[in-house]
Amino acid sequence: MNHLQFGVDYYPEHWNKNRWPVDLKMMKEMGLDVIRLAEFSWSALEPSDGQFTFDWLDEVLDLCEAYKIKVVLGTPTAAPPAWLIEQMPDIQPMASDGSRRYFGGRHHDCQSHPGYREKIIRYVTTFAKHFGKRECVIGWQVDNELGNSHGDLCYCEYCEKRFRQWLENKYENIDALNENWGTTFWSQGYQTFEEIHAPKKTASGHNPSQVLDWKIFHSDLINDFHALQANIIRSYSKDRFITHNCMGFSDIVSYYDLAKQLDFVSHDQYCEGYWKNYEETTVTEENHRQGIFPAAELDFIRSLKKDNFWIMEQQSSIAGWEIMGRTPRPGQIGLWSMQSVAHGADTIVYFRWRSCPMGTEQYWHGILPHSGKPGRAFYEIKALIQRVKPLMKEIKGSLPKPKVAIVYSYEQNYAMQIQPHHPDLHYVNHLMTFYNELHQNNVPVDFVSELEDWSQYSLVIAPFQYLMGQEQEQAYRKYVKNGGKLIVTMRTGVKMRNNLCLIDEELPGNLQDVLGVQVNEYDCLRKNDVAVTLNEQKGYGSKWADILTPTTAQTLATYRSEFYAGQAAITVNHYGKGDAYYVGTELDSTLMHHFLAPSLKELTNLPQTPAGVEITSRENDNCTYYFVLNHRDEAMTIDIPQNWTAYFEDQDSSKLAPYSYQIYFERKNHG
Ligand code: GAL
């Protein structure tokens, strides 16, 4: 990576050029060292087919070089221009009902379209050749938030064609496809790959195996779209990095795969009041306010490469398109920024420099208000930069060192989206029931994929392991055998990786001996929570109940209502040198607290804090740095361990102001 700590996303094309030097001078004075440019400026850089107007951007880069500001350049494929759409209207993506999503917003592109890809190759080649060696250009971002706005994917004929090729590659012959998709059901058998279509809106229902493949195909397509551009950039702009602004748990594209193409991962972090209504999103407002969900997303992003990352868009003011979120409280922007740092960000780039007077994002505010005159956000960020820049230089490369990992799988998530079982069962929310409890106890957490080496973790939590393959099964078996502690939850092993139900065996399939249980019955709880007792503690399970019959496992918690009252809800089985837990229902916070409590001591040495106050640490060979973050709107007092030294002399270690952070350190004793 490089040695930059703070930056901003800048859109000079929105402003009169007389303003550019004023902006860059202010940025420099503020302590910003890097800007991201051009990721939405296709029509300003190629206003008509093949006519490139790079002069204005060259002027901006000249100014950057004069002010010693570094640049990350974006390719503009998230917003193809009107002339291109006029030429090839079928670039506009097709929704599952066959309608088009038209020009006028962004991401109105089909990533399979061969004609569109030709235009991209020409643009990116010309662009990278022209700017790739400029002194100030240190790196690249392909497109913007790949997967964003692709909720309904693209179902057009070009995507269908690629899908067929992808299927042929995967299954080799049509008989294998028929078998893996179970096409004898409802007379869906295919004679040739040509007969297969995208899973568009049907008269009724869908084939779950087909939809799963479709979702995986789309993730691969987006990765291929990224590679198309990244390969060109690498050949014309050598020694520069390529990163991408990911979006936490957004699931259209597998970030595990994307991360392999990147020099380092970046993330866009918007903490307060997403522009959507909370009911539409996956987390509660309270969860956000206490900083828990943002923390989980940061941990996930760090986990993609188990390395430091950038924030490419850190919220700098009010967020909102049509509806706005709350204005960040005094101190809150600094708090959020330091939360990103605490979880492993080495560079923070704010979105955006100045609130834009036009377009969809008029109310997604920047560091400067519409007037361009510095206000509270500007002064708060400036003060933050002055205060923490030396610290960030010092801690660069240090990381949290979690002993617990939560398995996050795109495919399990897809399978649950296809058949959620219960109207409110949601994969990420289900994972969050574990994360919440760990986070509230200041336990650092990594996320892992289903097939990596987990031996460094003493606890692996693998919620909803619904699709089970042989390799994955062996990985779990090996992990527990060698002494690991594994927690799985309801619906484990129900299906094979092709989304067909397991037959010939009781659930949870081949892992029965590791888990020491059988699941012979289950209950979708709908609106009825089920009473559960765990070590005398009473609580409730919701949404789903796997009714467990221990074979060799010991019962830890028992259902107390319904016809299965008295039967096991949570079990533990000793297997090899390790322990395997089965949690049959979604636990409420009381039960989760008591379930995880015995494990917590060995997972963290950080002090306990009240809800809404978070402690996270980063360490290198010589030192551990502690970040104490108060997400509450009231002052909090916490006990700071004796051996921690305040990083800033003016820190009042007895009191944390509302929305504030404190930093401490502890040198490691190598003697
Ligand atoms: C991000 C996106 C930015 C901007 C911002 C505010 O998701 O990357 O381009 O749109 O949201 O809406």
The tens digit of pLDDT for each residue in 421-472 reads 999 999 999 999 999 999 999 999 999 999 889 999 999 999 999 999 999 9
Q: What span, in angstroms and rounded, lies between the C-alpha atoms of 125 and 234?
A: 10
Q: Is the CB of 324 under 6 A from ligand 1?
A: no
Give the tens place of pLDDT for each residue, 66-117: 999 999 999 999 999 999 999 999 999 999 999 999 999 999 999 999 999 9
**What count of residues does the chain have?**
671
Query: Do 324 and 272 meet the contact criterion of CB atoms below 8 Å apart?
Result: no
Query: Do 330 and 657 meet the contact criterion of CB atoms below 8 Å apart?
Result: no
* Ligand 1 atom showing the smallest separation from residue 245 Cα: 8
Cis peptide leading into residue 352 (ω within 30°): yes
How many A from CA of 487 to the centre of ligand 1? 36
Q: In which element (H, E) is residue 94 found? A: none
152 pLDDT exceeds 90? no
Lookup: tokens for 142: 């392909």
Confidence of residue 277 (pLDDT cuts 50, 70, 90): low
Classify each residue of 405-444 as buried b or exposed e, where b means 16 or more C-beta atoms within 10 Å of its C-beta.
bbbbbbbbbbbbebbebeeebbbbbbbbbbbbbbbbbbbb
Query: Do 264 and 349 meet the contact criterion of CB atoms below 8 Å apart?
Result: no
Q: Which residues are CB-contacts of 495 (< 8 A; sequence separation ≥ 6)?
A: 415, 466, 467, 468, 501, 502
Query: Residue type for 21, please?
Result: P
274 pLDDT exceeds 80? no
Predicted TM-score of the model (pTM): 0.97
How many A from CA of 43 to the centre of ligand 1? 18
Mutational pocket test of ligand 1: of 144, 281, 310, the residue with most ligand atoms within 8 Å of the beta carbon:
144
Mutational pocket test of ligand 1: of 351, 354, 358, 363, the residue with most ligand atoms within 8 Å of the beta carbon:
351
pLDDT at residue 280, rounded to an integer: 54
Active-site residue (options: 46, 297, 313, 380): 313
Q: What span, in angstroms and rounded, lies between the C-alpha atoms of 210 and 200?
A: 11
Classify each residue of 297-316 as buried b or exposed e, where b means 16 or more C-beta atoms within 10 Å of its C-beta.
bbbbbbbbbeebbbbbbbbb
Q: Is the CB of 562 under 6 A from ligand 1?
A: no
284 pLDDT exceeds 80? no
Query: Nearest 5°: phi and psi at 149?
Result: 65, 10
Q: Is the CB of 446 under 6 A from ligand 1?
A: no
Nearest to 70 by CA among 20, 138, 131: 138
Q: Is the CB of 144 under 6 A from ligand 1?
A: yes
pLDDT at residue 324, rounded to an integer: 87
On the CB side of 128, how many CA atoms lie within 13 Å of its CA? 25
| DSSP structural state of residue 632 | S
Provide the H-helix boundaries in 441-525.
470-481, 512-515
Query: Do 662 and 628 meet the contact criterion of CB atoms below 8 Å apart?
Result: yes
How many A from CA of 320 to the centre of ligand 1? 10
Give strand pairing partners of 661: 629
Q: Whose CA is nearest to atom 10 of ligand 1?
A: 361
Query: Do 10 and 35 meet the contact criterion of CB atoms below 8 Å apart?
Result: yes
Active-site residue (options: 39, 46, 145, 297): 145
Q: Which residues are CB-contacts of 659 (< 8 A; sequence separation ≥ 6)?
A: 329, 330, 331, 332, 335, 630, 631, 632, 633
pLDDT at residue 278, rounded to an integer: 55
Q: Whose CA is nearest to atom 6 of ligand 1?
A: 364
Q: Is the CB of 361 under 6 A from ligand 1?
A: yes
* Ligand 1 atom showing the smallest separation from residue 247 Cα: 7
How many A from CA of 339 to the centre of ligand 1? 20
Q: What span, in angstroms and rounded, lies between the C-alpha atoms of 291 and 384?
A: 19
How many A from CA of 551 to the centre of ligand 1? 52
285 in active site? no
313 in active site? yes
Query: How many angstroms separate the Cα of 62 from the Cα of each of 12, 20, 21, 33, 121?
Result: 13, 11, 10, 15, 26
Query: Do 364 and 268 meet the contact criterion of CB atoms below 8 Å apart?
Result: no
Q: Is the CB of 314 under 6 A from ligand 1?
A: no
How many A from CA of 366 to the centre of ligand 1? 11
pLDDT at residue 55, rounded to an integer: 98
- Percent of the chain scoring above 70 in pLDDT: 97
Choice among 104-113, 283-292, 368-377 with the minimum mean pLDDT: 283-292
Q: What span, in angstroms and rounded, lies between the C-alpha atoms of 549 and 412?
A: 25
On the CB side of 241, how many CA atoms lie within 13 Å of its CA? 18
Q: What span, in angstroms and rounded, lies between the C-alpha atoms of 493 and 461?
A: 15
Sign of CA dihedral 580, 586, 590, 591: negative
Nearest to 387 by CA among 2, 3, 74, 6: 6
Query: Do 538 and 531 meet the contact criterion of CB atoms below 8 Å apart?
Result: yes
How many A from CA of 524 to the centre of ligand 1? 38
